Amino acid sequence: MTTALYPGSFDPITNGHLDIATRAAKLFEKVVIGVYDIPAKHLLFTTEERVGMAKQAVANLGNVEVMPYNGLTVSFAREIGAQTLVRGLRVGADFEREFEMALMNKELSPDCELVCLMSNLKYQFLSSSLLKEVANLGGAIDKFVPKAVAEALKKKVLG
């Protein structure tokens, strides 16, 4: 069985993330969305909340599951039997960062491959950070995230 790991902080999961997960689900027999437990950036949602929102968002994708993890991504990939990492690319800066990570991951785990999927044009600008900023300022976010995520985000930032 070909398993792919789609890692990230998913704080929160967006329609852009879902687009990548859905497309990856067509390419691989199994896709695991790995929700990184403690990234080096400030998080709005707890790991449990991020995992819960991601599970709800991909419930219709039968070959996609969501799991939290910590430590090296390639170690988690090895643990779950994933041979491939999946990442989404939006802009040139994404490529530079992903290229650096891919080279390091290849050194750490030579058997693990990277597949980058180009973001759909309608999500090129979308990031969780920008989404949180818009929500924080009272902007409309409903078309950028699943309904449950929009509700959770509004509740979190608007109290």
42 is catalytic: no
Instruction: Please pick, among 23, 78, 90, 154, the residue that the annotation labels catalytic.
Output: 90
Backbone phi and psi for residue 59, each to the nearest 5 degrees, phi listed first: -55, -30
The DSSP secondary structure of the chain, one letter per residue, reads --EEEEEE--TT--HHHHHHHHHHHHHSSEEEEEEESS-SS--SS-HHHHHHHHHHHTTT-TTEEEEEE-S-HHHHHHHHT--EEEEEE-SHHHHHHHHHHHHHHHHH-TT-EEEEEEPPGGGTT--HHHHHHHHHTT---GGGS-HHHHHHHHHHHH-
Q: Which of 17, 30, 87, 132 is catalytic?
A: 17
Which of 30, 87, 128, 132 is the catalytic position?
128
Q: Is 90 assigned a catalytic role?
A: yes
Catalytic residue of the set 41, 97, 122, 147:
41
For residue 156, indicate whether it is catalytic. Answer: no
Q: Which residues are catalytic?
A: 17, 41, 90, 128
